């Protein structure tokens, strides 16, 4: 018996190939129509704000800020090494 409507067992799906195909599709979408890509990003953000709690969004913002600080420090260290 299949796990979904397409008749393929989920355990038989090539998840890496699927992820790569998805990445290629979005890459082409962003290249072909940058304005649509921006609208898509904004729409997804609006959807997340509708379905996510303020607490979850605050946690995400804190994690995002921490990542950006870490990235800035890493870039700074690389700059120091290249000097």
d(CA 78, CA 83): 8
**Per the confidence metrics, is the pTM higher than 0.85?**
no
Claim to verify: residue 42 and residue 63 sit in the same structural domain: no
Q: Are 15 and 7 in contact (CB under 8 A)?
A: no
Claim to verify: residue 36 and residue 60 sit in the same structural domain: no
Give the residue numbers spanning the domain of 11.
1-51
Claim to verify: residue 19 and residue 37 sit in the same structural domain: yes
Claim to verify: residue 11 and residue 46 sit in the same structural domain: yes
pLDDT tens for the chain, 83 residues long, are 455 556 668 788 889 999 999 999 988 988 899 898 889 889 988 998 888 788 888 888 899 999 999 999 999 999 888 87
Claim to verify: residue 21 and residue 8 sit in the same structural domain: yes
**Helix H or strand E segment including 79:** helix 54-82
Number of domains comprising the chain? 2
Claim to verify: residue 58 and residue 80 sit in the same structural domain: yes
Claim to verify: residue 42 and residue 80 sit in the same structural domain: no
């Amino acid at each position: 018996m299949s796990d979904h409507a397409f008749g393929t067992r989920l355990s038989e799906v090539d998840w890496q190939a699927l992820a790569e195909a998805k990445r290629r599709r979005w890459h082409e979408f962003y290249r072909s129509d940058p304005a649509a890509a921006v609208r898509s990003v904004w729409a997804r953000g609006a959807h997340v704000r509708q379905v996510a709690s303020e607490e979850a969004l605050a946690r995400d913002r804190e994690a995002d800020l921490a990542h950006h600080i870490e990235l800035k420090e890493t870039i700074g260290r690389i700059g120091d090494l290249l000097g």
